[in-house]
Amino acid sequence: MSRFFATGSDSESEESSSADEITPKAPGTTFKQSLLLSDDEEDTKRVVRSAKDKRFEELTNLIKTIRNAMKIRDMAKCLEEFEQLCRAFLKSKNIVDKEGVPPFYIRLLADLEDYLNQLWEDKEGKKKMNKNNAKALSTLRQKIRKYNRDYETEIAAYKENPQESADEEEEKEQGDSGSSSDSDGEAGDEGVSAKSFLKKKPEASSEASKFLKTAKGSGDESSSSDDDDDDEDWGSDTVDSGSESSDEGEGKSSSLAVVFLKKTQESEKSEKKLGKKKKPKKKERLEEEAEEEGGEEVEGGWEKVKGGAPMVKEKPKMFAKGTEINVPVVVKKLNEILQARGKKGTDRAAQIELLHALAAIAAENNLGQGIMVKIKFNIIASLYDYNPNLAAFMKPDMWKKCLDCIDELLDILFDNNNIFIGENIAEDSENLGSTDQPYRVRGCILTLVERMDEEFTKIMQNTDPHSQEYVDNLKDEGRVCGIIDRLLNYMENKGSTEEICRIYLRRIMHTYYKFDYKAHRRSLGLQGESKSEQDQEESEGEDSAVIMDRLCKFIYAKDRTDRIRTCAILCHIYHHALHSRWYQARDLMLMSHLQDNIQHADPPVQILYNRTMVQLGICAFRQGMIKDAHNALLDIQSSGRAKELLGQGLLMRNMQERNAEQEKIEKRRQVPFHMHINLELLECVYLVSAMLLEIPYMAAHEFDARRRMISKQFHHQLRVGERQPLLGPPESMREHVVAASKAMKMGDWRTCHSFIINEKMNSKVWDLFPETQRVREMLVRKIQEESLRTYLFTYSSVYDSISMETLSEMFELEIPTVHSIISKMIINEELMASLDQPTQTVVMHRTEPTSLQNMALQLAEKLGSLVENNERVFDLKQGVYGGYFNRDQKGGYQQKQSYQRDQKGGYQQKQGGYQRGGYRNQNQSNY
């Protein structure tokens, strides 16, 4: 007897069981049957359940579990399941808004609250509860009281007439089951339920099984096992389901169909059994393969697949001949194609072709733009899924297809204002075919465009930057920016502020690093060489500075996520710095306070911050703000990992510090080559800035033992230059800077100038700046001024007085400039001198110690430190803190809880800390 008859379930359970039990079948079986069955019969096999049914079933299952827990007084289980129920109900919000709160949900809330109140009042019962249950009861009671406030009216209505609401719910359930049974063709003409019908006619199953047994006996008498009995039962079900909704004539045709189906099932069973047996010998196998090929040819043109290759699932067929093409049919076919998505062995390229073919069919039959938008969304998603590996990038043909599809999708959206798209539209509330109402399609165009932008970055990351292919790929950026601009216009009309901020940031990220040459020419007052160039400049839109200002200010005002605002601020600063707007860039950086908490940001934002700081430093250098430039570049350059910190490459490291997985992640963070900052230019700017600060400082503190270093990297380069056994003419950029530093130390500004600004340095560094000549002039001026300061520091002890006119001629500076520099040095007490205004001379006071005195002071200081160290070592060996440090009664290191010798020779414990003001003060008094 069939398992369906044994269960005795109603139509609803039959549907759910059939839907659940389709999956375990072998893929070949279902495909063969789908070939042999007509479309109508295939429809009865597969049940498509709506989102409403799925969500409500999830809720009812959770409610059953809660009721079971209530019966056994398991409060912990009740609390856990109630929290799950609240989450599931929140997921069903869209359906609930549309359908209303389901009555069974209200009934549970009311019953649960009453039940908890009863338990709470039962003092004896509460005492018997274990600790977990008592705690769960208290928590659940508070939660249910708070939760039920939102449904007070519904619960009150239920409590007034609980029987009526229960009846309504039952009627609704019966109505649903009736409609489902009618749609599946399982109910009879008289409206009798499937369950009662099956109870009335058990003979049909036995007759069908007898018929199947005879048919089977004639076909294959040898195979009689338990599997065959199961097959007979399956066949009897098929006969019953066919005979329920048919007359006698239809019964005959159904029985013939069953016989035909039985044969296919037998052949499949025999194939399975053959597969389980051991492999036969070669000759027998060849004969069997020949027989199978012959049988398959009869059955319908099967192709033989060669061994060794993985089995590829068959493509779903397009529509059968004579099928009426309408929106539901196309949606059904679309879902069939999408079901294979992500499964093992699915041919992704074939899926994309099928979706393109489906789009062509929809266009031919004029099914409307709603279904076209739906198909286009899925085509683009399939193109992104073509590479399953996250690190892999799209092939050129797929990339072109993707851009074309997004352009076509945007064309449709711009041409049809009655199409509404969004991620918040539920699948069951989509309107793809009805022209009376606006089309509603589930999907997010913004997400697709963001993914397209990421794919473009991946393509650029994985292309050799020195090849022609990179240039060809980079040409696509114009198209990418065009798509972003079109979407930006669309979102400004139909998008939310959050979506507008996201698309604005994408536009900013494609603009911030590009130097606007046309705006630069306009600011300098230069016109195009020809009339056509002038016309083109006039026709072009607003400057990039205006665009950046407009987009960034919108994000500052409207954005609610810190990340988008942070990225926008950094891009804005970078763009200001790139176009030499130093004060705007500096003020924006200081006002944002990003430097305080940037260490908590994610790595891509940190890389952007590093790039911005570097660009800010280079901008300060171009403007002649040498100290600001040095401070901005100090952190990046002093680490020795500028390449890595700017996302422009990875440094070679041991596998212990970074494993293969981390290396892959870091490679994905790299900035594409066309966005790189020139590292040699960066290092040169840093070293020249350090030279202009460090050389005068070294000259001023030549004999100071406690002299601090402004730049460690610059001192390292100086030491490397000093260690060279043979000093030839400088070749690299670093050697040029070291040679210039040595010349500046001597106050020789002309030699310094010739080392910093020459043909080699121009081609490597200075010509890369947009305003090359202005930067060179600024550098010459700074070298002259700092060389003058160095000269005065170095040779002030030689002069009694020196004329400012002489200094002006030596360093080719104007007398007011020389006067200004010397005045600042006197005010800052760097130079012990005074200005004699009538004679325009600098009179030295000779208060600085001579070189001999300086050396004597250094020797005394070093001897003092040597004595201190010697005494400390001696005291540690003796175990007594005394001697040199204990000359006065208060001396010595009286550490907390330490013992110190008193006058009687014993030891007394002291509770103080370090009671001296510090040994340095005492030593200074001794000197």
- Tens-digit pLDDT profile for residues 841-888: 999 887 767 778 888 888 998 999 999 999 989 888 887 554 444 444
Both tokens of residue 110? 């009311």
| Residue 114 identity (one-letter amino acid) | D
The residue with tokens 């449904």 is: 151
Handedness of CA 736, 742, 746, 747 (dihedral sign): positive
Instruction: List residues bridging with 879 in a β-sheet.
Output: none
Are the C-beta atoms of 664 and 648 separated by less than 8 Å? no
Query: Alpha helix locations (H) across 247-395?
Result: 248-276, 282-300, 327-339, 348-364, 369-384
User: Which of 378, 377, 368 minimizes the C-alpha distance to 437?
Assistant: 368
Assess contact for 439 and 419: CB atoms under 8 A: yes
Q: What is the pTM of this model?
A: 0.60
Identify the pLDDT of residue 194: 40
Sign of the four-CA dihedral 892, 896, 902, 907:
negative
In this structure, the strands spanning 833-836 and 801-803 are unpaired
Per-residue tokens: 794? 């170095």
Look at strands 439-442 and 801-803 and give their pairing: unpaired
Reading the block at residue 918, the tokens are: 């510090």
Q: Which two tokens stand for residue 740?
A: 């210039």
CA atoms within 13 A on the CB side of 749: 22
pLDDT score of 393: 83
693: its two tokens:
């600060």
Give the CA count within 13 Å in the CB-facing half-sphere of 147.
20
Question: What does the CA dihedral 915, 919, 925, 927 come to, rounded to 10 degrees?
Answer: 160
Going by their DSSP bridges, the two strands 419-422 and 439-442 should be labelled as parallel
Q: Amino acid identity of 376?
A: K
Structure tokens at 136: 């769960």
What's the average model confidence in pLDDT over 538-561? Answer: 84
Distance spanning both ends of the chain, measured CA to CA = 114
The pLDDT value recorded for residue 656 is: 59
| Distance, CA of 57 to CA of 66 (rounded, Å) | 14
Q: What is the per-residue pLDDT for 667? A: 86
Whether the pLDDT of residue 586 is over 50: the answer is yes
Question: Which range has the top average pLDDT, 78-82, 129-133, 225-229?
Answer: 78-82
CA distances from 3 to 60, 212, 214, 236, 240 (A): 26, 17, 21, 10, 13
Q: Are the C-beta atoms of residues 490 and 415 closer than 8 Å to each other?
A: no
pLDDT at residue 258 is higher than 80: no
pLDDT band at residue 418 using 50, 70 and 90 as cut-offs: confident
Amino acid at 194: A
3-class SS of residue 844: strand
Average pLDDT estimate for 600-626:
94
DSSP H/E element including 909: strand 907-909
**Token digits of residue 288:** 């069997």
Closest CA to 761 of 725, 739, 732: 732
pLDDT at 664 over 70: yes
| CA geometry: angle 729, 733, 738, nearest 5 deg | 65
72-81, 183-192, 326-335, 371-380: which range is least confident on average?
183-192
**What was the pLDDT predicted at 618?**
95
Distance CA 521, CA 517 (A): 6
Percent of the chain residues past pLDDT 90, beyond the cut: 32
pLDDT reported for residue 302: 59
Q: Grade residue 91 by pLDDT with cuts at 50, 70 and 90.
A: confident
Q: What is the DSSP string of 457-501?
A: HHHHHTS-TTSHHHHHHHTHHHHHHHHHHHHHHHHHHHS-HHHHH
pLDDT higher for 639 or 606?
A: 606
pLDDT value of residue 9 = 43
CA atoms within 13 Å, Cβ hemisphere of 188: 14
Q: Is the dihedral of CA 633, 636, 641, 645 positive or negative?
A: negative
Q: Of all helices (H) and strands (E), which one includes residue 790?
A: helix 772-795
pLDDT at 298: 40
Instruction: Say what the pLDDT of residue 227 is.
Output: 44
Q: CB under 8 Å, gap of 24 or more: what pairs does 114-118 form?
A: 115/70, 116/140, 116/141, 116/144, 117/141
Ranges 309-313, 470-474, 568-572, 642-646: which has the least confidence:
309-313
- The answer to whether residue 73 scores a pLDDT higher than 50 is yes
CB 47 within 8 A of CB 57: no
Q: Above 60 in pLDDT, residue 637?
A: yes
Confidence of residue 249 (pLDDT cuts 50, 70, 90): very low
pLDDT of residue 822: 93
3-state helix, strand, coil in the chain (%, to 5): 70, 5, 30
Q: What is the pLDDT of residues 266-299, one digit of tens each?
A: 444 444 444 444 444 444 554 554 444 444 444 4
CA distance 108 to 756: 84
Question: What's residue 183's pLDDT?
Answer: 41
